Amino acid sequence: MTMTIDIQPAPKKRKAVLLAITVLFILAGLAWGIWYYLVGSTRIKTDNAYVGGNLVTVSSQVAGSVIDIAADETQMVQAGADLIKLDPTDAQVALNQAAARLGTAVRQQRERYLNVDPLRAVVDERQVMLKAAQTDLARRLPLAADHTVSGEDIAHARQAVDNARAALEVAQKQLDAAQGAIAGVKPELHPSVLAAKADYIQAWLATRRNAIVAPVSGYVAKRSVQVGSHITPGAPLLSIVPLDQLWVDANFKESELRDIRVGQPAIIEADMYGGKVQFHGKVMGLSAGTGSAFSLLPAQNASGNWIKVVQRLPVRIALDPKELAAHPLRVGLSATVDIDITEQRGGALGTLAPPAHYATTALTQPMQEAQVAADAIIARNLAK
């Protein structure tokens, strides 16, 4: 005997399942719509973001051979700390030569000033000689009428007056030239002395610059200099990265830039820490051009094989210094940036004040010491 069982679901049960699924999809769509309207439409997010910072290149201001290196990769250095020392021999020799040239210039000017009085005495002497010659001629002229004095004697007397007058003119011009070379200035303020003094100060600075110091506080990176290397001014030796001066460059698509404004808050998640750590920042400004516009070989979009590529524009995000100190970042790390675009009062082209003023006093030299040393050389060579 064979039995058959009908296992088809009841129509009512099937309809209930389909209705439940439909309602679920409707609720999901409604929830997504509400989320997008309240949250999604007010935020723009990208994972094409990287940490940026200042890479301070350290170079030498003078030429020389490296004899000591006091810092290496990853080490923290303070502003003003000695990093590299150069052989001071050549600089010291140049300083001694500059001191000798300064002393020579002072003595030459001193001699010029002293030569004025002898030249003035020569002028006085020439005036006396001219007066004597004129007196002699005046005494002889009346005697020539009665032929007491010959015409030849009168001619000789006239020639003596002319010679005395010419000698006086030469002496006067020499005196004028000597006085013109020193008029209006003291020996220590003469241009030639000041030029030699400037050369001495330059040589003095060169001796101080044999010690290459850190311009800012930060971590050493990209050290390329080695002991024994002969370096030239301006050649990069190493870099210093101040990790308290970092920001994030978020590269947004051009279609996402319309609502981005300066000052809008942003949440940054670095891949180094993941979602466990969030950095809070603000939009500092938008770049003046896309990455392709500033590339070494910009794209030639006027060609016949043009293909449209969506461009990205860097948007700079300032970080909170306290959060950055608590969770240090490194230049070049990847990050995700989420900007809240609700606030639209900021400008699209303006910028906020930078988080720090980039300046250094570590390279300032004590010029007063150089001035005192130069003045001492001048005083020694002016002394009688």
Q: Tell me, yes or no, whether 81 and 95 share the same domain.
A: no
Under the banding of pLDDT at 50, 70 and 90, the label for residue 343 is confident
What pLDDT, on the 0 to 100 scale, is given for residue 176? 72
Query: Is 21 contained in some domain?
Result: no
Query: Is 40 contained in some domain?
Result: no
Under the banding of pLDDT at 50, 70 and 90, the label for residue 71 is very high
What pLDDT, on the 0 to 100 scale, is given for residue 32? 72
Under the banding of pLDDT at 50, 70 and 90, the label for residue 160 is confident
Q: Tell me, yes or no, whether 227 and 148 share the same domain.
A: no
Contacts of 33 (CB under 8 A, 6+ apart): none
Query: Is 379 contained in some domain?
Result: no
Nearest to 67 by CA among 230, 284, 290, 203: 230
270 has pLDDT over 80 = yes
DSSP annotation of 363: T
Q: Give the mean pLDDT of the chain.
A: 84
What pLDDT, on the 0 to 100 scale, is given for residue 208? 93
For residue range 112-152, what is the model confidence (pLDDT) as tens digits? 777 676 777 777 777 878 787 777 767 766 766 666 666 67
Measured in degrees and rounded to the nearest 5, phi and psi for residue 348 equal: -90, -15
DSSP secondary structure letters along 88-115: -HHHHHHHHHHHHHHHHHHHHHHHHHHH
What pLDDT, on the 0 to 100 scale, is given for residue 347? 73
For residue range 73-113, what is the model confidence (pLDDT) as tens digits? 999 999 999 999 999 999 999 999 999 999 999 888 887 77
Comparing 163 with 348, the larger pLDDT belongs to: 163
- What would the mean pLDDT of 234-254 be, rounded to a whole number? 93
For residue range 322-331, what is the model confidence (pLDDT) as tens digits? 999 999 999 9
Q: Tell me, yes or no, whether 117 and 98 share the same domain.
A: yes
Q: Tell me, yes or no, whether 153 and 170 share the same domain.
A: yes
What pLDDT, on the 0 to 100 scale, is given for residue 164? 80
Query: Is 134 contained in some domain?
Result: yes
Q: Tell me, yes or no, whether 316 and 329 share the same domain.
A: yes
- What would the mean pLDDT of 376-383 be, rounded to a whole number? 88
Query: Is 202 contained in some domain?
Result: no
Q: What angle do CA 38, 42, 47 make, to 5 degrees?
A: 125
3 has pLDDT over 60 = no
Under the banding of pLDDT at 50, 70 and 90, the label for residue 353 is low
**CATH number, position 331:** 2.40.30.170
If phi > 0 it is left, if psi is from -120 to 50 it is alpha, else beta; for residue 318 that is beta
Tell me the whole-structure pTM to 2 decimals: 0.72
Q: Tell me, yes or no, whether 159 and 191 share the same domain.
A: yes
Q: Tell me, yes or no, whether 265 and 344 share the same domain.
A: yes
For residue range 272-314, what is the model confidence (pLDDT) as tens digits? 998 889 999 999 888 888 877 877 777 777 776 777 888 899 9
The total domain count for the chain is 3
Q: Tell me, yes or no, whether 80 and 109 share the same domain.
A: no
Comparing 232 with 124, the larger pLDDT belongs to: 232
Alpha helices (H) along the chain: 11-38, 89-145, 151-182, 191-208, 321-326, 367-382
Query: Is 351 contained in some domain?
Result: yes
If phi > 0 it is left, if psi is from -120 to 50 it is alpha, else beta; for residue 345 that is alpha
Q: Tell me, yes or no, whether 237 and 251 share the same domain.
A: no
Under the banding of pLDDT at 50, 70 and 90, the label for residue 184 is low
What pLDDT, on the 0 to 100 scale, is given for residue 69? 95
For residue range 329-340, what is the model confidence (pLDDT) as tens digits? 999 999 999 998
Comparing 373 with 342, the larger pLDDT belongs to: 373
Under the banding of pLDDT at 50, 70 and 90, the label for residue 197 is very high
What pLDDT, on the 0 to 100 scale, is given for residue 168? 79
7 has pLDDT over 70 = no
The CA distance from 178 to 186, in Å, is 14
Q: Tell me, yes or no, whether 292 and 332 share the same domain.
A: yes
376 has pLDDT over 80 = yes
- What would the mean pLDDT of 13-35 be, rounded to a whole number? 78
Q: Which domain holds residue 291?
A: 246-296+304-355
Measured in degrees and rounded to the nearest 5, phi and psi for residue 62 equal: -135, 160
Query: Is 20 contained in some domain?
Result: no
Q: Tell me, yes or no, whether 351 and 312 share the same domain.
A: yes
Query: Is 383 contained in some domain?
Result: no
Percent of the chain with pLDDT over 70: 86
Q: Any idea which of 23-32, 145-154, 168-177 has the lowest mean pLDDT?
A: 145-154
Nearest to 316 by CA among 359, 285, 290: 285
What pLDDT, on the 0 to 100 scale, is given for residue 350? 65
What pLDDT, on the 0 to 100 scale, is given for residue 15? 78
Q: Tell me, yes or no, whether 184 and 258 share the same domain.
A: no
What pLDDT, on the 0 to 100 scale, is given for residue 51? 96
**CATH number, position 223:** 2.40.50.100
